[in-house]
Structure 1
Amino acid sequence: MKLARRFFCSLLLAFVVGSAGAADLGTARPEAVGMSSQRLKLLTTEMKSLAERGELSGVVTMVARKGKVVHLEAAGKRELENGTPMQKDSIFRIYSMTKPITGVAMMILFEQGKWQLNDPVSKYIPEFADLKVAKVDPANGAVTTVPSNHPMTMRELMSHSGGLTYGFFGGTAVDKQYVENKVFDQGQPMQTFIERLGKTPLLFQPGERWHYSVSVDVQGYLVEKLSGQSFPEFLQEHVFGPLKMVDTAFYVPAAKMNRFVEFYYRGKDGKSVKHPGVADYSKPPVFPSGGGGLVSTASDYMRFCQMLLNGGALDGQRILSPLTVKLMRTNMLPESARTMGPGTGFGLDFAVVEDPAAAGGFAGEGTFYWGGFAGTWFWIDPVYELIVIGMIQQRGDDMPDLRALSRALTYQSIVEE
């Protein structure tokens, strides 16, 4: 009888959580970690409803609390044209969710004494030794330059406050120069990117404000310079290998292409079409982008997040010191540079919730998070020992606010603090 009961419980747990990938972390019923199964089921229900109504092509959501996975569900389609169902182990372009991984790589080198937060970036990148700052004439739009009031620091580079921009996300005169000079041409090697960037003026004085930028691609280049390894090799040896992130890389091998999710754009008419201009992920890239080049699965990214929530270690593999993780999720922006949302600061490659009520409620103080261009999102809450990951591949008009929705539906399921 006891054997039969154990067998039934094993089957039930597998049904609740879902996959072998999640089981690697350890699984539990929500009630075992202070959550309500009935309430958490609303997350599954709502995501499936969005997919059925055509508002989402497909989605995978994953939740862990107190080191145990309590939710892993897939809804909708991996590919609309053939009606291929989304799977729990589907592979996604995580775009800017690459940034925290690059940040961890940088902090591994920080722990080795290879660089310091207050060092000038030009100490490691000579091409940045004489960066100028753009000055735009409001009358005619003419761009001149003035000297920077201090060299961009590594702290400013890692908190998007160094004066860099992106090019294709903005319409400033400097953004136009990025585009015209092909600064962020991912068909060229990283060295070419650095050389062109060094010849382009900064958008503003270093430390003046927070502004989303190519800073983390510069960090990917720095990982190579400081380690003597290629960026992909460093990540595999120091992050992906130790954490058993078996599906995270800069490309998708042929054997895994049948798990790779199509990227869609949803128009004003409510119809989804394949997103234009998507890079080829079938082979290793010339430019392994530290700011947005990786693909991954929900389960792989959960292992990365759990390592951070654990203070830098997972399954006996220590990646970082707890002190380093704490530093990463500490706001680095001076009061004068706070241009993010209410209650939110920015650490080292993460946004950080400093005032939960001002930031929108629910999340514990010190929650750190980010997202990706194709709609992926995650957050790590050290107060409630909670990790939530969402994976989609869709942009467009009238997209549902999935981060806010999943935040409400996850936190309302916590019944014991």
Structure 2
Amino acid sequence: MTGYNNHNIPEAAHTFIDRNISAGILTVAFGPRGSWVCVAANGACDSHGIPRGCKDALRDFLRRGFRIRSIAFPPQGGDRWVVVADQDYSAQGIPDECIQVMDTFRRNKWPMRHIAFPPSGGNSWVIVGTDRVFARSIDDECYQILNNHMQGQRPASGVSFTPDGGWTIFGSDEPFARRIHDDCYRHLRAIAAQGDMIDHVSFVPDGDGYSIIANQASPFTSPNLIRVFENNFFRDSSGKGHSVWARMAAHGVPGVSVAMVLGGAFAWQTSYGVLEAGGQQYVYNDTPFQVASISKPTTAVGVLRSAQGAGANIGLDDPVQQHTTWTIPVQAGGSASWVNEATVALTLAHEGGFNVPGFGGYPDTGTQLPTLDQILAGTPPVNSPKIEIMTRPGPRLYSGGGYVALQRMMQDVTATNFVDWMQSNVLTPLGMSGSTFAVTLPPQLSRAATGHVAGPVAINGKRNRYPESAAAGLYSNVGDLCRIILMLNSGGSLDGVPILTRAMRDRMLLDELGISRSGALAALDCMYAHDGVNAGFYALMRGYPNLGSGFAITTNADHSAGGSAFVAEVVAALEYLYPRDLLPSGHSVIGLDSDQVSAAALDLGVGGR
């Protein structure tokens, strides 16, 4: 089905659209002072008031049989324009950086679908490809939502801006808009509701006019599960649906990112909300969050890598003491023999007898950080007890302190700072380019989420610092965390690169080295998981190795501030939408009230080791 809706556009442009809509309208663009151009799929075109160079470039492309995809004019007017075709582009007077990015598209043969310029002018633009977005100085929420709408099998085809800063994202999926004319929004929703695909939305830059073009019916007959996740995220016991944004507000969660692994491959990732409550910087899919105790399975991968192959530096069944110059103390009343019983594997599994379950971190307000040796000894300025063996190794006793002991061991074994060694030997081989164990974020990762306590209220200094790196110091994003899931699900390799041997990967899951597992390793319902709780943050990762699936969730609200309760609802929503990938038993917690959902999701493994 084809159709259009025009409002307050030049009469000649309306006439051209009306006469050619049956052939298909490839693009409609409006420039300053009443200028416009329209191109039809049959090669017909018409225009008024556009620059001569733009008209010549357009005619040349049409003469050569190119298919026009987008035409745009920066708001400054004058001889500034760009014409994008399926095989090339031509431009004049647009920002140099935009030209550089378009050249990158052309050089790599990435198709460009749409280009747009916000009304702010200057170096402000967005380029939408078939599977990627590049933008500069556009509305921050627009950039977030546009990236969300590029995920999955139904990527957005474009974004358009109103003269007063409103915007809409459109394509084969439901449109998303902010601050556009009410009638325009109603027409967008009506066109999408009748099953048509919105190909173009163009706004007149010096008025309230707009044109909406739908050339064909949408090829999709089933709902997009990502949009269902967003818009019908939680259904309460009365049957009323609530969006992800509504539930974030209800739980006091300022920002969240979610990523999915399906069918043995990365499927999608989306982000919602802001870096800091009350702020206008939005969470992106690559935004670093503190992932707290998810540091532990990541550290375990590093320890296992050191224990595999002919050049192994350690043995998993060796005592930790064998590989460190630090003398491991035993609490008063304990036996000195316990030190030799505390093996690397037992310590990874929280069975090494070490004390100190967790760490509070240090506010980033000029507070002096303790050294690793001060943390181990419990001496000032440390805020945690001395790390020592408090019980005979064997029984499970969750211990962040044991991971700090492993951190010291790894530094002794590798003769390298733990943070640097993990970067080179774990994060980089895994392709986790947006992750770091650094206590102070490097410049390229400095646009990070702020932690929040109940309110939500930003914590003092935005984020506590955790020199207890192996236990709690990892910054990451959901896409990077999914690379750990993909590696574990594929038997220890990722993208053809061996990270762990199959035997080491199996031992990690079987013996629960740094991670929790439920179900037999060969069973369909085998699941591994770990969550993370730092001051101001809550995170969860979970994988199903025999289903090739999993997910990662990061929030900037801590456990007591609603982070874990909200994450439980995320888990419930994902399990409901992907029952064959996440719940092989057919168990579903959808339809429960919030407190019931939280309890049920926790029973399903939200609480990690």
TM-score (norm 1): 0.72
Note the 1:65-214 alignment, pairs <5 A.
Answer: 65-111=262-308, 112-128=311-327, 131-134=329-332, 144-148=333-337, 151-166=341-356, 187-195=369-377, 201-214=388-401
- Determine the structure 2 residue equivalent to 1:254: 443
CA gap 1:109/1:55 in 2 versus in 1, 3 angstroms: same
Unaligned runs of 5+ in 2: 1-40, 42-66, 70-85, 87-110, 114-127, 134-144, 156-221, 234-243, 361-366, 380-384, 582-609
Which of 453, 457, 468 aligns to 1:265? It is: 453
- Determine the structure 1 residue equivalent to 2:568: 404
Secondary structure of 2:273's partner? strand
- Determine the structure 2 residue equivalent to 1:55: 252
Note the 1:324-363 alignment, pairs <5 A.
Answer: 324-331=504-511, 347-354=512-519
Checking the alignment, whether the CA contact within 8 Å between 1:161 and 1:207 is kept in structure 2 is: yes
Distance 1:399 1:233 in 2: 30
- Determine the structure 1 residue equivalent to 2:486: 306
- The alpha carbon displacement at 1:89 in A equals 1.9
CA gap 1:223/1:12 in 2 versus in 1, 3 angstroms: same
- The alpha carbon displacement at 1:14 in A equals 6.1
User: Greater share of helix residues, 1 or 2?
Assistant: 1
Distance 2:442 2:226 in 1: 35
Distance 1:157 1:254 in 2: 34
- The alpha carbon displacement at 1:398 in A equals 5.0
- Determine the structure 2 residue equivalent to 1:223: 410
- The alpha carbon displacement at 1:262 in A equals 0.9
CA gap 1:206/1:228 in 2 versus in 1, 3 angstroms: same
- Determine the structure 2 residue equivalent to 1:343: none
Deviations 1:327-379, CA, capped at 9 Å, x for gaps: 10013xxxxxxxxxxxxxxx1111111379xxxxxx95331111111211111
- Determine the structure 1 residue equivalent to 2:425: 238
Checking the alignment, whether the CA contact within 8 Å between 1:351 and 1:370 is kept in structure 2 is: yes
Q: Does 1:321 align with 2:491?
A: no
Distance 1:167 1:308 in 2: 26
CA gap 1:214/1:246 in 2 versus in 1, 3 angstroms: same
Secondary structure of 1:89's partner? coil
Distance 2:250 2:330 in 1: 51
The one-letter code matched in structure 1 to 2:292 is Y
CA gap 1:313/1:145 in 2 versus in 1, 3 angstroms: closer
Distance 1:206 1:226 in 2: 22
Checking the alignment, whether the CA contact within 8 Å between 2:247 and 2:566 is kept in structure 1 is: no
CA gap 1:304/1:398 in 2 versus in 1, 3 angstroms: closer
Q: Quote the sequence identity (%).
A: 18
- The alpha carbon displacement at 1:412 in A equals 2.6
Q: Does 1:275 align with 2:459?
A: yes
Distance 2:358 2:291 in 1: 18
Size of the aligned set, in residue pairs, is 354
Secondary structure of 2:526's partner? coil
Secondary structure of 2:248's partner? helix
Secondary structure of 2:453's partner? strand
Secondary structure of 1:75's partner? strand
Checking the alignment, whether the CA contact within 8 Å between 2:538 and 2:564 is kept in structure 1 is: no
Checking the alignment, whether the CA contact within 8 Å between 1:265 and 1:275 is kept in structure 2 is: yes
Distance 2:427 2:391 in 1: 36
Checking the alignment, whether the CA contact within 8 Å between 1:40 and 1:413 is kept in structure 2 is: no
Secondary structure of 1:376's partner? strand
- The alpha carbon displacement at 1:238 in A equals 1.6
Q: Does 1:369 align with 2:529?
A: yes
Moved more, 95-104 or 207-216: 207-216
The one-letter code matched in structure 2 to 1:412 is Y
User: Greater share of strand residues, 1 or 2?
Assistant: 2
Deviations 1:165-214, CA, capped at 9 Å, x for gaps: 226679xxxxxxxxxxxxxx992332343455997653322113332332
CA gap 1:88/1:399 in 2 versus in 1, 3 angstroms: closer
Distance 1:147 1:235 in 2: 31
Secondary structure of 2:551's partner? strand
Larger Cα Rg: Structure 1 or Structure 2? 2
- The alpha carbon displacement at 1:52 in A equals 4.0
Secondary structure of 1:70's partner? strand
Checking the alignment, whether the CA contact within 8 Å between 2:387 and 2:401 is kept in structure 1 is: no
- Determine the structure 2 residue equivalent to 1:383: 546
